[in-house]
């Protein structure tokens, strides 16, 4: 058995952040049933270009493998009745909607506990279900701006920049998945469920970590650094080589001393201006141009070999194509495949949440409403007359 095969989650989710959280739970065996709004054509992720045709997209495949789907209009009485029946046989209702929507849809714990006192209701929203911003929409880009991330990203003399990936969304998904599983554990232990109020704003603020501590405790004002340098440890940054870029990470004093030997500059290690982290930080304007000049004399691969042999932590700045070709990817079985009627073979990355070994196989993402028979007839035991009545009441759109 997979670790979460005894867990069932009703997911009122869309786009990236929410589905990213539950895809890891689905990979671990949880039954994740997506509730898709028929009024809007279901999850908007189905329509994200490029590589999109009809209601299929490679974007949607990435975040929704191993899940089930049913179209359900929760604005109708009939649709809500089906949801309530699903709540009775499920562990959690998981959503990523604006912070005021769970109350409007009736998917908070106080709304659903009469149907299942042990249900866990996890809301992943932009700003949470409380506070002056709770009813505002939010997207990853916006949150990277409002929480200060962009002020830390990019070159000092350039414009503020976002990270290359939607890290607020993805980290928020992880936090929501963790909160859901913690809630399920407590509900099974204590006999009653709860709300999990997860906010992308909270997540992004929390990810400020030690620079925030420095600011709050000592008035530190963080800013952007040249060549993606660490704010205090030197050298710990990108350097341009003769044919690309390399990351050198001297996170310990011993690595600095080793670096001086590899680049054949032992005099730098003996120089009092560069003898400690603090000294190198104070004299970075003198040290870094020297290192820039040294690394520009040879190619990236040669530097990787020399630094690696010398015990200095380093890495190339790869393209995505080169990253996928790293032998560690194959060794860790990080690429998985699913068969798809429209796209043929879909190759994507496995979940890094590797618990109990990699699963033997994966299902493609579901077509919209594909699992209606399973959900309605098998899981809920509805007879044909009941299904027809719900359809006439527009429960399914």
**Catalytic residue set:** 169
Phi-psi group of 54: left, alpha or beta (phi > 0 → left; psi -120 to 50 → alpha; rest → beta) = left
Beta-bridge partner residues of 197: 123
Distance between CA atoms of 143 and 70, rounded to whole angstroms? 31
Q: Cα torsion at 222, 228, 231, 237 (round to 10°)?
A: 180
Phi-psi region of 369 (alpha: psi -120 to 50; beta: other; left: phi over 0): left
CA distance 47 to 39: 14
Distances (CA, A) of 249 to 100, 198, 256, 313: 44, 34, 9, 5
What is the bridge-based pairing of β-strands 52-53 and 56-57? antiparallel
How far apart CA 184 and CA 186 sit, in angstroms, is: 5
Rounded CA-CA distance 54/51 in Å is 10
Helices (H) and strands (E) in the chain, counts: 18, 13
Grouping H, G, I as helix, E, B as strand and the rest as coil, residue 86 is helix
Tell me the C-alpha to C-alpha distance, in Å, between residue 253 and each of 257, 274, 335.
7, 10, 37
**Angstrom distances, CA of residue 243 to CA of 80, 250, 295:** 60, 22, 10
Tell me the residue ranges of DSSP E strands in 17-161.
31-36, 52-53, 56-57, 68-71, 92-95, 120-125
d(C-alpha 211, C-alpha 220), whole Å: 7
């Amino acid at each position: 058995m997979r670790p979460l095969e005894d867990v069932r989650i009703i997911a009122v989710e869309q786009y990236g952040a929410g589905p990213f959280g539950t895809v890891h739970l689905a990979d671990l065996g949880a039954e994740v049933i997506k509730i898709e709004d028929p009024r809007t054509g279901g999850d908007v992720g189905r329509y994200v270009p490029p590589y999109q045709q009809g209601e299929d997209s490679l974007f949607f495949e990435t975040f929704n493998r191993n899940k089930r789907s049913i179209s359900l209009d929760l604005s109708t009485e009939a649709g809500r009745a089906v949801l309530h029946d699903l709540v009775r046989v499920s562990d959690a209702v998981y959503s990523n909607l604006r912070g005021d929507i769970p109350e409007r849809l009736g998917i908070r714990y106080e709304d659903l506990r009469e149907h299942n006192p042990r249900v866990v209701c996890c809301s992943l929203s932009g700003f949470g279900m409380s506070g002056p911003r709770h009813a505002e929409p939010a997207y990853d880009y916006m949150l990277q701006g409002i929480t200060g991330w962009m002020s830390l990203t990019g070159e000092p003399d350039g414009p503020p920049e976002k990270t290359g990936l939607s890290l607020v969304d993805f980290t928020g998904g992880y936090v929501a998945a963790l909160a859901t599983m913690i809630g399920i554990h407590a509900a099974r232990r204590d006999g009653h469920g709860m709300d999990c109020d997860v906010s992308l704003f909270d997540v992004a603020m929390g990810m400020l970590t030690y620079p925030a501590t420095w600011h709050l405790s000592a008035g530190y004002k963080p800013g952007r650094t040249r060549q993606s340098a660490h704010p205090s440890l030197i050298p710990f940054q990108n350097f341009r080589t003769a044919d690309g870029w390399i990351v050198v990470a001297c996170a310990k004093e011993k690595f600095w001393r080793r670096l001086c030997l590899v680049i054949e500059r032992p005099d730098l290690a003996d120089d009092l201006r560069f003898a400690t982290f603090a000294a190198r930080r104070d004299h970075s304007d003198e040290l870094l141009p020297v290192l820039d000049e040294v690394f520009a004399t040879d190619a990236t691969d040669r530097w990787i070999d020399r630094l690696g042999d010398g015990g200095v932590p380093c890495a190339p700045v790869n393209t995505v194509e080169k990253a996928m070709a790293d032998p560690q990817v194959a060794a860790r079985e990080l690429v998985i495949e699913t068969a798809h009627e429209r796209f043929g073979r879909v190759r994507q990355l496995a979940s890094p949440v590797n618990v109990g070994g990699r699963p033997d196989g994966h299902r493609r993402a579901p077509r919209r409403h594909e699992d209606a028979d399973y959900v309605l007839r098998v899981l809920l035991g509805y007879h044909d007359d009941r299904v027809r009545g719900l359809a006439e009441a527009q429960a399914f759109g």
